[in-house]
């Protein structure tokens, strides 16, 4: 199993932006030094949930600040980007990093309507924009004299420069927050990233993913390859003892959950609009919606964390996306958690 760090660092106060951004660069360098497989970047706007805001600009910084670790998006909100501009930027970062880039794309947030409002985008168009954008980007990377006429873009260009370092184009990956979109990826024969879910839901979806690929005509070799390229997401806090990890991790995670709802609730109060649907009677909310500590946070000593990851490893996905810096957690505590994980947990899965 590959291990990675989702650097989804928050700055609750604008005065903290500069410090948090630079601490995140230090966190990235540490992960590179310790031999972690991948760094993941998110994208959220106007609320401090994601301090560096723009994963594209930050990925370029990481490409020069690190040497070996891969750099991916989990995810870039493609509905907020022009696909040609994005293709150029990805090609540039692919060259700077010498092929370490993972272009992880998603439709856009399913929670924060103000992300769309700030860019003047109808959230109902997000999925269609994602699909068309992917098509345009692949065309731009792989063809000359490109012409595209679609629902959202009408573009013509002779040749995109610079050409990608990775041929035929940078590695692309899609995030799937729901089961239906995961099934779509399985039918298309593409790997995917899954958001935070309970072990029960994760097991079900990974089994469904494999069965859907099998029903779609893919052989065992292709299914195994795709499974090795799928990623699961969990929040993680490692400390010397279980008690210490609980004392540190649970309050930080709970504060993280609360803070992520602040701007959403404010917009709902001021404008009466929201992307979060009201709970359906008799239907349990998703883990991400209620952010249950039991399912969303792995906390404990190195041995306890290893046991919990061993359970996740049984589901067959190739990689684990981990968020180490939780809410208001300070950088020293975060780096200690990362070091304990990479020196005492990761070796057990070598």
Q: What is the pLDDT of the chain when averaged over all its residues?
A: 95
Read off the pLDDT of residues 163-178 as tens digits, 9 standing for 90 and up: 999 999 999 999 998 9
State the pLDDT confidence band at 294, using cuts at 50, 70 and 90.
confident
Q: Report residue 95's pLDDT band, with 50, 70 and 90 as the boundaries.
A: very high
- The domain in which residue 170 lies consists of 2-349
Six-digit token pair at 255? 């504060």
Q: What is the widest separation between alpha-carbon atoms in the chain?
A: 62
Question: Average of pLDDT values for 280-302?
Answer: 68
How confident is the model over 211-267, as pLDDT tens digits?
A: 999 999 999 999 999 999 999 999 999 999 999 999 999 999 999 999 999 999 999
**Band of the pLDDT at 295, cuts 50, 70, 90?**
confident
Once rounded to an integer, what is the mean pLDDT over residues 86-110?
97
**Confidence at residue 293, expressed as pLDDT on a 0 to 100 scale:** 85
Percent of the chain with pLDDT over 70: 96
Taking each continuous run of H as one helix and of E as one strand, the counts in the chain are 13, 12
pLDDT on residue 283: 42
pLDDT, position 284: 42
Give percent above pLDDT 90 in the chain.
94
| CATH code for position 159 | 3.20.20.30
Whether the per-residue pLDDT at 337 is higher than 70: the answer is: yes
What pLDDT sits at residue 279? 52
What pLDDT is stored for residue 81 in this prediction? Answer: 98
Per-residue pLDDT reduced to its tens digit, 56-74: 999 999 999 999 999 999 9
pLDDT at 278: 62
Using the predicted structure, report yes or no on whether residue 287 has a pLDDT greater than 50. no
Transcribe 4-26 into DSSP letters.
EEEE----SSGGGHHHHHHHHHH
State residue 349's pLDDT score.
96
Quote the number of domains for the chain: 1
At residue 149, what are phi and psi to the nearest 5 degrees? -125, 110
In Å, what is the CA distance from 82 to each residue of 219, 221, 286? 36, 36, 31
Q: Indicate the DSSP class of residue 189.
A: T
pLDDT number for residue 280: 46
């Amino acid at each position: 199993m590959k291990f990675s760090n989702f650097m989804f660092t928050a700055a609750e106060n604008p005065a903290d932006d500069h410090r948090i951004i630079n601490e995140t660069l230090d966190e990235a360098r540490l992960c590179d030094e310790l031999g972690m497989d991948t760094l993941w970047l998110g994208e959220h706007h106007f609320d401090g949930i994601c301090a560096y805001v723009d994963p594209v600009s930050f990925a370029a910084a990481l490409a020069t600040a690190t040497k070996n670790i891969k750099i991916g998006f989990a995810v870039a909100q493609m509905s907020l980007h022009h696909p040609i501009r994005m293709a150029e930027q990805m090609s540039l970062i692919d060259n700077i990093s010498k092929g370490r880039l993972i272009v992880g794309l998603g439709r856009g947030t399913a929670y924060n309507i103000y992300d769309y409002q700030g860019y003047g985008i109808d959230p109902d168009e997000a999925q269609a924009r994602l699909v068309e954008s992917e098509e345009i980007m692949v065309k731009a990377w792989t063809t000359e004299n490109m012409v595209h006429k679609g629902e959202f873009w009408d573009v013509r260009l002779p040749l995109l420069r610079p050409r990608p370092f990775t041929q035929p184009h940078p590695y692309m990956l899609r995030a799937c927050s729901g089961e239906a979109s995961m099934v779509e990826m399985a039918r298309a024969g593409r790997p995917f990233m899954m958001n935070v879910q309970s072990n029960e839901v994760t097991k079900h979806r990974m089994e469904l993913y494999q069965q859907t690929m099998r029903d779609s005509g893919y052989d065992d070799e292709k299914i195994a390859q795709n499974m090795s390229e799928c990623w699961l997401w969990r929040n993680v806090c490692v400390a010397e003892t279980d008690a210490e990890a609980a004392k540190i991790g649970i309050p930080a995670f709970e504060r993280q959950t609360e803070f992520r709802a602040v701007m959403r609730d404010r917009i709902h109060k001021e404008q009466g609009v929201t992307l979060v649907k009201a709970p359906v009677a008799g239907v349990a909310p998703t883990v991400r919606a209620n952010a249950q500590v039991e399912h969303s946070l792995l906390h404990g000593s190195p041995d306890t964390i290893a046991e919990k990851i061993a359970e996740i490893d049984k589901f067959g996905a190739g990689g684990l996306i981990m968020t180490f810096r939780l809410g208001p957690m300070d950088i020293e505590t975060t780096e200690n958690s990362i070091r304990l994980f990479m020196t005492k947990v990761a070796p057990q899965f070598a």
